[in-house]
Amino acid sequence: MLVFAKEKLVFLSVPKTGTTAYQDALGGRASLVLRDPPELKHAPVFRYNRFFRPALEKFCGEGFDILAVMREPIDWLGSWYRYRRRSGKEGARTSTHDLSFDDFVLAYMKGNRPPFANVGSQAKFLEPQKNGTAVTHLFRYEDQKGLADFLKSRLKTDVSTRKLNQSPSLELRLSADVETRLRRKCETEFALYESIGSDGAYTPLAHGEAPAHQ
């Protein structure tokens, strides 16, 4: 998470969306940088609303905008799958070695996910809260230019990132049957992603609307 107090902007760090590179590029420009532990670095909207928003509003005033990035759901799962296949993870409970991508996604769709497939939900991470706290600018992971242009305009500074914390390169493809089941099971994830416009505007979920069939 990055906080820019003067510009009244909070940049949430959705896992596997490249935000580590923006922390690296803008850490020196930010008023507050949360890098560790992961529960704070990757604080979702509900955690930001409960723990961080009250302090920021008390000491910096109200009116903070919230920025986040969302990745296409299949690509996002693919990034997790590749990341958990990296060297040194063999034999770990969260390892995806010796698993196909289909197997990983099928496990992700279970009600009780095994450790290797327990990677959360982007839609749940971004869910608005009852008091109105919500992401105000949401960019697609693929729209790096749009995100950089927004940050340049808001922060009045050029943004130059380098690739960090990348998952191992591996071409992945779901079988047609598994993809169909995933799109039905996680309908809300895909609908939220498809609602994102090129300017960061999007259609948020209603509070309490969990990903479909979760």
Task: Look at residue 162 and tell me whether its pLDDT is greater than 80.
Answer: no
Instruction: List the domain range (segments joined by +) for residue 15.
Output: 2-194
Percent of the chain with pLDDT over 70: 93
| 47: in domain | yes
| 13: in domain | yes
> What is this structure's pTM?
0.91
CATH of the domain at 20: 3.40.50.300
Average pLDDT of the segment spanning 47-72: 97
Question: What band does 166 get if pLDDT is binned at 50, 70 and 90?
Answer: low
Kind and range of the H or E element at 3? Answer: strand 2-4
| 37: in domain | yes
How far is it between the farthest Cα atoms of the chain? 52
Do residues 2 and 33 make contact, with C-beta atoms less than 8 angstroms apart?
Answer: yes
| 85: in domain | yes
| 44: in domain | yes
The total of structural domains in the chain comes to 1
Residue 213 to residue 197: CA distance in whole angstroms: 26
| 170: in domain | yes
Question: What band does 169 get if pLDDT is binned at 50, 70 and 90?
Answer: low
| 132: in domain | yes
| 210: in domain | no
Residue 5 to residue 3: CA distance in whole angstroms: 6
